[in-house]
Structure formats: C-alpha cells, structure tokens
Amino acid sequence: MKDEEGSPAARLDKARLMKFASLTALFGNLALAAAKIITGFFAGSMALVGAGIDSLVDVVIAIMTLLVSRIISRPADEGHPWGHGRAETVATALLSFMLFFAGAQLILSSGRDIILGYEREVPGMAALVVTAISIAAKLLLAWSQYLFGKKAASPMLKANAKNMSADVLLSLGVLIGIALSMFFDIGVIDSWAAVLVGLWIIKAALSIFLEANTELMDGGASKALYQLVFDAVNSVEEAGLPHRVRMRRIAGLWDIDIDIEVPVNKTIIEAHWISFKVEEAIKSRVENVYDITVHVEPAGNQESEGYGLSEETLKVSQTGRKNLL
C-alpha cells in the first residue's frame, strides 16, 4: 500500500531520498570544485576559478539539504502543528542569497581587473580540459538531482537541479571564454567571461528566491489547480457551491482549505460523509496533497467572506484576462 502524502512514513522516505541526493551532490561537487579552483589558479583562468566557487556553493547546498532532511522528517508538534516542512523553503531562500553574493563577488573582482586594465595571462590548456570534463559531470549531477527532486516532491532538490543545469551553461560560457582567450592570445577575455559567469549566477539566485518567496507568502497555486478542486467538489452528489478555497504549499505538498454547502436537512453524520467524499475527490485530482480542511455550511448560507476563491471569482478572473489579451 502506498504511503499517504504527508504521513510519517512518507516524510521518512522523502528524508532518505534527500539524504542520498545530498551525498551524491556533495561529493560530486566537492571533486569538481577542487579541480576547477586548483586548475584555474595554476592555469591562470579567473573564469574557471569562479566556476569552481559556484561548485563550492553547491557543496554548501548539499550540506544544507542534509540538515534539512533531518528537520523535515520530524513529526508535527505543539510548536509546529503543520510540521517542519517549511524548513526546506527557508533553506532554499538562504541558498539564493548565497548564490547572489558569490556571483556579485566574482563580478566585482573581475570587473576591477577590467577597469584598472590589469594584464592577465592567457589561460593554459589544462583549464580548457578541466572545463570540458566538468560540463559532462555537471550534466550527470543535474539529471540525478532532478530525478531525486521529482520523486521526493522536493522544491529544494529541484532548485538545486535547476542551479546545476545553469552551471552547465555557465561552464559552456567559461569554455568559450577560455578558448577565445587562447585563440586570440588576449588574457582579458577570460576576465570578461568571469563577469558573465557572475551575472549568470545572480540570475539563477533571483529565480530561486522568487520561487521560494512565493511559497513563504502562501501563494503559487495556479488557476488550473483551483479549477481541479472545484471540479472535484462538483463531482460529489449533494456537495455544492465550493467557495473560500485557499491553497498553499508546504515543502512541495498542498494544504487546502475549502467551504462547501450541503442540503439543510442533512444530519451531522451525513454532512461529514459528504465532506469526506469531497476530500477523496480532491485527492484523486490534485497530486501531492498534504492536508484538506472542508468546512460544511447549510445551503443558502449568507456570510461575508472576503478571502479565498470561488468558481465565480475564478471565472471572472479568467474572463478579464482573455479580454486583456
């Protein structure tokens, strides 16, 4: 029998996957970082040193993921009634800051050399060879992190896979910069490549931060997901007028609150059974559900409810967007 999403067994499985993925990323990136930084210094390529620093950031990410995997495996307690899943989101946000400062530092150091007209040596052949090898290795690491992230429904692992995919393009840029520098015998080309590497790192950092911030702000659910919830409620006999629907993510899982109306002549037991069928219908349509809270109201209930979505507000929003287009 498959473990229910958000259950203790599911949390442990996710923690194990995150731990294995983190160890893979840790040792793989540690080897790459050492090779790039050492070769970059001896071969005279700041762009390759910058790529090595980026790989060191990946090592820190792996260590953070190991720590987070221990935290999220803990069950909910009095201080954290929704569990400890948000630790992963906070760690993802911290990761984005680390990437941002690493990229900014690389831009400042290389930009200073360009502005001051510092003469740089042309990188050696070893820098070209190590960069080419690192591209192949990063492709394998990015692919493995994506598969682990998908299986564990982990935004942090997916963010790490995204970062590593960006590293592949980054390394391609470094490869081109080193090759041009060697071909034209102009060392400053490597400094310009290092600046571009730094800009790419900052771009990846901003993308990761915006994604983590959306979850921290309890957003991120698309209109299509809300429509799936409405369709699920409408498929249950005697469940009507789904409204005040709110969806938020907790470490890759959906926490859903919804109000429905049932006929006024239903007993508490009958209303409860209807709400249970609504929960099952939603889970059959929406993947990775952590928890669902269904609030039952008598049909025709009149209350002032100024938050959450209803089918009517969703349709108005979609119609308004079509008119703008």
* 204 plus 62 within the same structural domain: yes
- Residue 290 belongs to some domain of the structure: yes
Residues 69 and 205 in one domain: yes
Specify whether 266 is located in the same domain as 133: no
| pLDDT for 283 beyond 80 | yes
The pTM of the whole model exceeds 0.85: no
Is there a single domain that holds both residue 73 and residue 145?
yes
Decide if 280 is inside a domain.
Answer: yes
Shared domain check, 57 and 195: yes
pLDDT in tens, 203-224: 878 887 887 777 777 676 778 8
Are both 17 and 111 inside the same structural domain?
yes
In tens, the pLDDT along 109-153 reads 778 767 776 666 777 788 888 989 988 988 898 888 888 888 877
Q: Give domain status of residue 34, yes or no.
A: yes
Single out the residue in 216, 241, 267 at which a domain terminates: 216
CATH number, domain with residue 188: 1.20.1510.10
From 216, 233, 252, the end of a domain falls on 216
Same domain, 35 and 97: yes
9 close to 3: Cβ distance less than 8 angstroms: yes
Report yes or no on 2 lying in a domain: no
**Does a structural domain hold residue 1?**
no
Output 269 or 181, whichever has higher pLDDT: 269
| Mean per-residue pLDDT of the chain | 79
Q: Which residue has the tokens 């789904």?
A: 242
Percent of residues, the chain, with pLDDT higher than 70: 85
| Residue span of the structural domain in which 176 resides | 8-216
Same domain (yes/no): 272, 202: no
CA distance 170 to 184: 21
- Assess whether 34 and 60 both reside in one domain: yes
Same domain, 65 and 130: yes
* 99 and 230 in a common domain: no
Q: List Cβ neighbours of 265 (8 Å cut-off, separation of 6 or more).
A: none
Retrieve residue 109's tokens: 């150091």
Other C-beta atoms lying within 10 Å of the C-beta of residue 19: 17
CATH number at residue 289: 3.30.70.1350
With bands split at pLDDT 50, 70 and 90, how would you rate the model's confidence at 13?
Answer: confident
Any residues with CB less than 8 A from the CB of 114 and at least 6 apart, and which? 188, 191, 192, 195
Looking at the 3D structure of the chain, how many domains does it have? 2
The answer to whether residue 3 sits within a structural domain is no
**Closest among 170, 176, 202 to 190, alpha carbons compared:** 176
- Distance between CA atoms of residues 50 and 170, nearest Å: 10
Would residue 75 count as lying in a domain? yes
Q: What is the DSSP letter of 7?
A: S
Domain assignment present for residue 162? The answer is yes
Whether the pLDDT of residue 6 is over 60: the answer is no
Domain boundary residue among 216, 249, 264? Answer: 216
Higher-pLDDT residue of 53, 233: 233
38 and 176 share one domain: yes
